[in-house]
Chain A
Amino acid sequence: MTLREIAEILEADVVAGSDDLDVTIKNACSADMMSAVLYYHTPDSLLITGLTQPHVIRTAEIAGIKSIVFVLDKKPGADTIELARQKKIPILCTRFCMYTASGKLYEAGLPGCLFK
């Protein structure tokens, strides 16, 4: 599934990386616990989370996460957006909660990250 399709399904605003919407996302991980992202991730994943601080971008960069969705209309700060641009990690913001966002993407055929 492309990031463009994901943005459409989630009716999301693209706040960083709007030129990179053609990348393919293989699976998704819904979490707020950063250690879990580091533990269970598979590369090329989408992270769906409720946290918007810069350390979330650093976690994504280190885990090899392709893109991040911030849920519940949370607006990331300028420092987070700047870091995401620098690291080339597109950021989407959706008004849906993590459960609804996960449900809609799963319904559209996106699988979850596998255990590793």
Chain B
Amino acid sequence: MKLSNIVENLSLEVKTGENNLQNDVTGAYISDLLSDVMANGKEGNVWITLQTHLNIVAVSGLKNLAGIIIVNNRPVQEDVLQKAESEKVTIMSTPLPAFEIAGKLYQLLNG
């Protein structure tokens, strides 16, 4: 499934990386720990997290993730957004908590 379908179906707000929405999504991973995503995230995964530290951009880039969904409408600092934009990393945002957005995505990808 394309990232753009997910954005539309889950009503995500796209904050950076508008140009990558045609990317294919292979699945998803939830974690707030950078080392965990480095170890277990897979290429093309959407990463669902509360973590807004600057290093999420590098992790997403290194693992070739399809994008990052920040949950609970957590504020993302300007420097993080700028880095994401320049590294072509897609950051999206939702008011829903991780459990619910994961549930909806799971149904969308497996339903």
Contacts and interface: CB of A to CB of B under 8 A. Distances in A.
**Residue from the set A30, A36, A106, A115 with the largest chain B CB neighbour count within 10 Å:** A30
B30 A98 contact: yes
A99 B30 contact: yes
Interface in A79-116: 97-100, 102-107, 111-113, 115
B50 A112 contact: no
A27 to B, nearest CB: 8
In this complex, the interface size class of chain A, counting residues with CB under 8 Å from chain B, is 20 to 34
Contacts of B29: 97-99
A72 B40 contact: yes
A99 to B, nearest CB: 5
A104 B107 CA distance: 9
Interface in A17-74: 27-33, 36, 40, 48, 50-51, 72
Interface string B16-58: 0000000000011111110010001000000010110000000
B99 A30 contact: yes
Contacts, number: 85
B97 to A, nearest CB: 5
A30 B72 CA distance: 12
Interface in B79-97: 95-97
30 contacts: A28-B99, A29-B99, A30-B97, A30-B98, A31-B32, A31-B50, A33-B32, A33-B50, A36-B72, A40-B97, A48-B99, A50-B31, A98-B29, A98-B102, A99-B27, A99-B30, A99-B48, A99-B105, A102-B98, A102-B106, A103-B103, A103-B106, A103-B110, A106-B103, A106-B106, A107-B103, A111-B100, A112-B98, A112-B99, A115-B95
Interface of A: 27-33, 36, 40, 48, 50-51, 72, 97-100, 102-107, 111-113, 115
